[in-house]
A and B are shown apart, each in its own frame.
Chain A
């Protein structure tokens, strides 16, 4: 199963409530995925700075001196905000690669969950309600976000197997379904030098999109080609810096419901996830078509392109 929720705000006055609304939607989807949960939230941006969200199973020791250590390793303003097992590192844009290298070499217990200018990803094993409480998701504000509740089918229940997956700067992916060709595709991508950490099928889907975009495809093109190259069942929701997209495989067994009002565009695996959104009674509610790539963005009009 798995549950997906997404919310793209058109009305800026709702931004302080984004985390609260997404948390309610996420908890409603607990029945679809009780073993882990995650959220990608697009929040504040600091000019010239990037955000790395990192995770550690032993945050007390790993995060104790990390901020001071990074200040010595990086020129410019560095700050760290810890939330349970996660921490958001704000660093100068030019030092993203250097910081990642530093973490890899000197902090083996610290894993990078996401990088970008506005994106933060939080995910852990446990009931969505408990995961949301650990990170105080309700208190988060932002322009848009996507969340996921996982019922594992293809790989172990671990933090790294939870969704969302970071696919590039300020980009992320969540998935409901199961990919059946993930082993062969993982081998192919690894031969092409793509780093894939786990045996998880969705991570392969995320790595595939990243690899396509690194080779010149736009996100839309990468999603379109995924319909040919990925075998199995999927409803994908992708987050980008300025919006989000939805694509379902041609068979479209995995459910998806969208709702749009003047204030927001919302996604839910089921209508249940949307019932407490403001104005849902008068929203346009519909099911996204199979094999069609949808995008909502702050910068361009919405698109729906049959692949």
Chain B
């Protein structure tokens, strides 16, 4: 295992070391100590390595991740796993606003609560939140799955496209064009897999499914150019 002291060696050295790892690297497990809320930790990784961050992080941790598994043993600041492409990001604590924003793929697991705008404009990422999520989550979400074991805040799924939203608890309000939808067997199957990947012991039957009513301007073919 490689241990990296962020306070002593600095952010650029850390990310350069992580970027230097090839697909067949032997340095497969990294531990980052003294993160102290720093920004942009383990951003832009593209190798099948495991990175354990021993503490809380600031803005944009694990952004643009490909292949790597990033595990934050603490809470994460705004924009964690933003624009993730593949791989896995796990947050033991809470995540601040716009966690998993614009993510194209991979899995983001938040074991605490997520703040506002979780999964905003998500494009294929799967996000599993053990706790609650804040307002305007999954705003303009295009594809992928958002699973919330707790409650959702105001305006969930506003202007949604094709993403699936599963919420176990209450939803404070639904955003424009977001509606509750029937939970069919295929959805329970998808949800069971997501819950297993997220390490949740919740049962798929306890959740409700929300999605797009497809009534907004963009869904009307007469408005196409």
A: residues with CB less than 8 A from B are 250-253, 255, 257, 270-275, 285-287, 290
Given that A255-B96, A286-B94 are contacting pairs, would A271 and B75 also be in contact in the complex, using a CB cutoff of 8 Å? yes
Whether B58 pairs with A287 at a CB distance below 8 angstroms is no
Tally inter-chain residue pairs, CB-CB below 8 A: 42
- Expressed in whole angstroms, the Cα–Cα distance for A250 and B154 within the complex equals 10
- Least Cβ distance of B6 to chain A in Å? 12
Given that A270-B58, A271-B77 are contacting pairs, would A287 and B36 also be in contact in the complex, using a CB cutoff of 8 Å? no
- Expressed in whole angstroms, the Cα–Cα distance for A270 and B76 within the complex equals 11
- Least Cβ distance of B20 to chain A in Å? 26
- Expressed in whole angstroms, the Cα–Cα distance for A253 and B56 within the complex equals 20
B115 at the interface (CB under 8 A from A): yes
Which residues on B sit within 8 Å (CB–CB) of A257?
Answer: 96
B38 at the interface (CB under 8 A from A): yes
- Least Cβ distance of A307 to chain B in Å? 14
B48 at the interface (CB under 8 A from A): no
Given that A255-B78, A285-B75 are contacting pairs, would A290 and B58 also be in contact in the complex, using a CB cutoff of 8 Å? no
Whether A270 pairs with B37 at a CB distance below 8 angstroms is yes
Whether B75 pairs with A252 at a CB distance below 8 angstroms is no
- Least Cβ distance of B110 to chain A in Å? 13
Which residue on B lies nearest to A268, using beta carbons?
B37
Whether B38 pairs with A272 at a CB distance below 8 angstroms is yes
Which residue on A lies nearest to B36, using beta carbons?
A275
B135 at the interface (CB under 8 A from A): yes
Given that A285-B75, A290-B116 are contacting pairs, would A272 and B94 also be in contact in the complex, using a CB cutoff of 8 Å? no
- Least Cβ distance of A183 to chain B in Å? 28
- Least Cβ distance of B12 to chain A in Å? 15
- Least Cβ distance of B162 to chain A in Å? 26
Which residue on B lies nearest to A289, using beta carbons?
B134
Whether A271 pairs with B94 at a CB distance below 8 angstroms is no
Which residues on A sit within 8 Å (CB–CB) of B97?
Answer: 252-253, 255
- Expressed in whole angstroms, the Cα–Cα distance for A251 and B134 within the complex equals 10
- Expressed in whole angstroms, the Cα–Cα distance for A271 and B57 within the complex equals 8
- Expressed in whole angstroms, the Cα–Cα distance for A272 and B96 within the complex equals 13
Whether B94 pairs with A270 at a CB distance below 8 angstroms is no
Which residues on A sit within 8 Å (CB–CB) of B56?
Answer: 271, 275, 285
Q: Majority SS of interface residues in chain A?
A: loop
Whether B94 pairs with A287 at a CB distance below 8 angstroms is yes
- Expressed in whole angstroms, the Cα–Cα distance for A249 and B23 within the complex equals 45
Q: Majority SS of interface residues in chain B?
A: loop
Which residues on A sit within 8 Å (CB–CB) of B136?
Answer: 251
Interface residues of B in 76-128 (CB under 8 A from A): 77-78, 93-94, 96-97, 115-116
Whether A272 pairs with B75 at a CB distance below 8 angstroms is no
Whether A290 pairs with B36 at a CB distance below 8 angstroms is no
Which residues on B sit within 8 Å (CB–CB) of A290?
Answer: 116, 134-135
- Least Cβ distance of B98 to chain A in Å? 9
Interface residues of B in 153-204 (CB under 8 A from A): none
Contact among B77, B115, B134, B135 for A270, CB-based, below 8 A:
B77
- Expressed in whole angstroms, the Cα–Cα distance for A252 and B96 within the complex equals 11
Whether A272 pairs with B37 at a CB distance below 8 angstroms is yes
Besides A270-B77, A271-B58, A272-B58, 16 other CB < 8 A contacts?
A251-B136, A252-B97, A252-B135, A255-B97, A257-B96, A270-B59, A271-B77, A272-B36, A272-B37, A272-B38, A274-B37, A275-B36, A285-B56, A287-B96, A287-B115, A290-B134
5 CB contacts below 8 A, A to B, read: A252-B116, A253-B97, A273-B37, A285-B56, A285-B94
Which residues on B sit within 8 Å (CB–CB) of A253?
Answer: 97
- Least Cβ distance of B92 to chain A in Å? 13
Which residue on B lies nearest to A287, using beta carbons?
B115
- Expressed in whole angstroms, the Cα–Cα distance for A286 and B114 within the complex equals 11
- Least Cβ distance of B38 to chain A in Å? 7
- Expressed in whole angstroms, the Cα–Cα distance for A103 and B113 within the complex equals 53
- Expressed in whole angstroms, the Cα–Cα distance for A275 and B34 within the complex equals 10
- Least Cβ distance of A237 to chain B in Å? 18
- Least Cβ distance of A281 to chain B in Å? 9
- Expressed in whole angstroms, the Cα–Cα distance for A271 and B58 within the complex equals 7
- Expressed in whole angstroms, the Cα–Cα distance for A273 and B77 within the complex equals 12
Whether B37 pairs with A275 at a CB distance below 8 angstroms is yes
Which residues on B sit within 8 Å (CB–CB) of A286?
Answer: 94
Interface residues of B in 136-150 (CB under 8 A from A): 136
Over the window 7-28 of chain B, the binary record of Cβ atoms lying under 8 Å from chain A Cβ atoms (1 yes, 0 no) is 0000000000000000000000
- Expressed in whole angstroms, the Cα–Cα distance for A252 and B134 within the complex equals 10
Which residue on B lies nearest to A253, using beta carbons?
B97
Which residue on B lies nearest to A31, using beta carbons?
B39
Which residue on A lies nearest to B34, using beta carbons?
A275
Which residues on A sit within 8 Å (CB–CB) of B116?
Answer: 251-252, 290
- Expressed in whole angstroms, the Cα–Cα distance for A273 and B56 within the complex equals 12
- Least Cβ distance of B5 to chain A in Å? 15
Contact among B37, B115, B135 for A271, CB-based, below 8 A:
B37
Which residues on A sit within 8 Å (CB–CB) of B77?
Answer: 255, 270-271
